[in-house]
Amino acid sequence: MDLVPALEEPLRQPLKSVLGPATAKVMAEHLGLLTVGDLLHHYPRRYEERGQLTHLADLPMDEHVTVVAQVADARLHTFASAKAPRGKGQRLEVTITDGSGRLQLVFFGAGVHKPHKELLPGTRAMFAGKVSVFNRRLQLAHPAYELLRGDPEESVETWAGALIPIYPATAKLESWKIGKAIQTVLPTAQEAVDPLPDTLREGRGLVPLPEALLKIHRPHTKADIEDARSRLKWDEAFVLQVALARRRHADAQLPAVPRKPAPEGLLTAFDARLPFTLTDGQQRVSREIFDDLATDHPMHRLLQGEVGSGKTMVALRAMLAVVDAGGQAAMLAPTEVLAQQHHRSVVEMMGELAEGGMLGGAEQATKVVLLTGSMGAVARRHALLDLTTGEAGIVIGTHALIEDKVQFHDLGLVVVDEQHRFGVEQRDALRGKGKQPPHLLVMTATPIPRTVAMTVFGDLETSVLDQLPAGRSPIASHVVPAADKPHFLSRAWERVREEVENGHQAYVVCPRIGDEEDDPKKSGKKKSPEDEAEKRPPLAVLDVADQLTKGPLQGLRVEVLHGRMHPDDKDAVMRRFAAGETHVLVATTVIEVGVNVPNATAMVIMDADRFGVSQLHQLRGRVGRGSAPGLCLLVTEMPEASPARQRLGAVASTLDGFELSRIDLEQRREGDVLGQAQSGARTSLKVLAVIEDEEIIAEAREEATAVVANDPELTHLPALRTALDALLDDEREQYLEKG
C-alpha cells in the first residue's frame, strides 16, 4: 500500500536475501508475500497474553490454529502395528488446558522423543496444527510448538503481560517464525509513505502509518493495538473507496444512448397481458431503472433481491423498454440450464409478443433468441443473423454471446444474471459490442448486506427487492441430525413420499457428483489415519440416487442432474421434471439458481453442513414457488454443539436472506464473499470487517467521493496514487469488477 523502494525490496533475491531463501520461498508460495511491504502488511490475526490462555473450547474444525496453553499431563503408550509388529510402536498423548477446555496432542513414532522430554506438566507453549476429531474428541496431530520461557531479566509481571502476536500461518510456516521475520524488517516501517491525506488523518485523530505498523506488530498495550487497527482499517476502506469513486467518476463521463419506452409500445402491451399486478417493490425498482435508462450516460445498477422476489420480471420489463426505444437487450446467464430456463420463461410470459416476424405474432412483437455453446450450426446461424439485422430484440445466452462472431444491430442493455459467476473480461466484452457503451443491469439472488454492496459493488447503484410476490408459499426448514437420530432421516424420506402422493415433486441435493473424476479414492492422494477417521467423502448424486431408488423411494421415478452431463441430456431431464414426469430429482447445486418448477414442494439437502449459508438459502428458494407450502430438510451428521450445526440452525430459523448473509459474513469473514474481487490484490481486506465496520466504510466512501470530485487523477496526492497502484496495477483493475 505504501510501496517505496525500501518496502519494495523482494524478500527473496539471488544475491542478498532479506530472509533465508527457504522461509522467503514458503512466504511467496503459501502466503503470497513477495516484498518487505507485503510482509509488513501481514498483520496478526489476534494476540495472546502469556499469562492468559486462549479459548480451546472455541477451536474451529479443519483449520490451522495456533494456541497458547499449559501442559496438564503427558503419557507415552506403546502399541503393535504393521510397522512395529512386536508392540514397539510409540504414541505420546499430551493433554493441554487453558481453563476453558482441554485439547489432546498426539505424536507418533520417532517424533515422540523431543516432545516427551520438553512437554512436561506445567510447561507453557504455543502449539500450531490442524484441528481434527478422533474418537469424538478434538486433537492436534504432530503439532509444531514453541516453549514460552521468560527472559531472566524480565519480571514475572512483564513476562506474563507481554502480548504475543498470532499471525495467519500455514502448516509449513508457524506463526512464531513469521513473527521473527517481521521483527527483522520492522525498522523499514519508518519509510512507509502515508496514503491518507493529512487533513483526513488529522481530522479523524488517526496515527501516522509508520507508527501504526510498529504498534500492530509490536504492541506494548491493548491501546496500541486499538490505535493501529483503527488507522489500518481506514487505509483499507479509503483506498478501496477511492478506486471505486474513480471508476464511478469515469463511467459518468461516458456517453450512452438514452432509451425511453414508446408510449403505446411493447412494454405497454406486455403489462396489459400480465395476469397479476406487480408488487410495490417491483414498481419502485422498475422506476429507478427506467430513470437511469433515460439518461445520456450508461446505467450501472445492481439489482439484488430475495430468491423468488421477481427480479427476472423487472429485468424483462427493462429489456422491453429498450426494445421499445429501438435498441436490443442481451441477458447473460452463467449456465446453459439457466439460459434455456430464462428463454423458456421469457417466451411464455411474452406469448405472441415474442413472435416478431412470425405468423400470429402481435403488431408490436419482437423476436427472442437463445444462443448457447451447444446449439446446432443451423440454429446458431439463424440466431446470429437475427441479432445482426436487429430482427431479434432480445437475446438470452451463455458465454457464447461474448464470442467475436456475435454482432448486434444496436445493443442498448446488458443484463448479467448471477454476476459473481462472470469475470470482468466477459462483462466488458459484451459491453464492447454496443456502438456506444450499453446500459448495464447486474442481478444477484444472494442478498448482500449494504456494506458489502458498498465494498464490492461500489461502482454500481443498488436496487433491492425485498418483497415476495403474492401467491408465494412459506417454506418450513428443519435440521435432520442423521447421526444422533437416524429415525429422523427415515421420516424425511417418508415426507418426500407423502409430497409425491399428494401430486407434488421433490429435490434431493448432494455436494458431489460421484463419477470417476471426482472420486477421492481415485485422486491418488493418501490420507492420514486421522483424516480417514475424521471425515468420509461428501455424499454423491449417483450413489444417493441409486440407494434411494433401491430403498426408501423405491417405486418413484427418480432422475439425476449434474454439471458433467451433456447439455441436451440436462435439458431433457429438466423438461421431464418441469412437466411432472419425474417425481424426485437428485442433483448437485446446478439447480441453485433460476430453476423454477412450482410443483416441487420438498427439498432434502444431504451433508448440508458442506454448503455455505447463502448457498443453502439459494437452494431452499427452489421450493415453495407455487401455491403449496414448501419444505426444506437439512441433513447433517455433525454433532449438536458444532459451529456447522449452529449455521444450519440459523438457516432453519429465518427466511430473511439479508439476515442470513450477515450471519454468514460474521462467521466466515469477507474473504469468501468478496471472492475473486480480492484475488491477486496484495492488499486485500485484512483488518477491515465489512459488517462490524459499517460506519468506517460509509464515511470512507463520502471522503473518497469528495477527494475524487476535486482531483480525479489524484495529481496532488502522490502517496495515495502509489497506494492505489499497489492495490490496482493494470491486471488488478478487475478487482473492482467483482470477478
Cell of 401: 454471446
pLDDT band at 734 (very low <50, low <70, confident <90, very high): very low
Q: What span, in angstroms and rounded, lies between the C-alpha atoms of 529 and 519?
A: 18
Q: What percent of the chain has pLDDT over 90?
A: 35
Cell of 532: 480417514
- Give the chain's count of helices (H) and strands (E): 26, 21
Q: Which residues pair with 568 in a beta bridge?
A: none
pLDDT at 247: 84
Choose the weakest-confidence range: 59-63, 201-205, 375-379.
Answer: 59-63
Q: What span, in angstroms and rounded, lies between the C-alpha atoms of 615 and 504?
A: 24
Contact 304, 444 (CB under 8 A): yes
pLDDT at 224: 95
Comparing CA positions, the residue from 419, 306, 350 lying closest to residue 658 is: 306
pLDDT tens readout for residues 639-684: 887 888 888 999 999 888 778 877 777 766 554 444 434 333 334 5
Which is more confidently placed, 494 or 185?
Answer: 494
Cell of 413: 442493455
Q: What span, in angstroms and rounded, lies between the C-alpha atoms of 447 and 664?
A: 11
For residue 115, CA distances in Å to 103, 141, 543, 714 come to 16, 12, 44, 57
461-465/300-305 β-pairing: parallel
Task: Give me the mean pLDDT over the 585-611 stretch.
Answer: 88
Cell of 222: 491493548
Q: Is the pLDDT of residue 735 over 80?
A: no
Contact 413, 317 (CB under 8 A): no
pLDDT band at 108 (very low <50, low <70, confident <90, very high): confident
Task: Give me the mean pLDDT over the 239-266 stretch.
Answer: 88
pLDDT at 469: 67
Average pLDDT, the chain: 82
Which is more confidently placed, 509 or 568?
Answer: 509
Comparing CA positions, the residue from 301, 647, 309, 635 lying closest to residue 446 is: 309
pLDDT at 683: 40
pLDDT at 158: 57
Cell of 534: 475424521
Task: Give me the mean pLDDT over the 254-264 stretch.
Answer: 89
Task: Give me the mean pLDDT over the 686-695 stretch.
Answer: 79
Contact 315, 267 (CB under 8 A): no
Task: Give me the mean pLDDT over the 462-469 stretch.
Answer: 79
Question: pTM surpassing 0.75?
Answer: no
Q: Is the pLDDT of residue 527 over 60?
A: no
163-166/46-49 β-pairing: antiparallel
Which is more confidently placed, 517 or 23?
Answer: 23
Choose the weakest-confidence range: 81-85, 174-178, 589-593.
Answer: 81-85
pLDDT tens readout for residues 378-432: 999 999 999 999 999 999 998 888 887 889 999 999 998 865 555 556 667 777 7
Question: How many Å is the Cα radius of gyration of the chain?
Answer: 29
Q: Which residues pair with 561 in a beta bridge?
A: 587
Place of cell 414498481: 283
pLDDT tens readout for residues 287-302: 999 999 999 999 989 8
Q: Is the pLDDT of residue 161 over 80?
A: no
pLDDT band at 217 (very low <50, low <70, confident <90, very high): very high
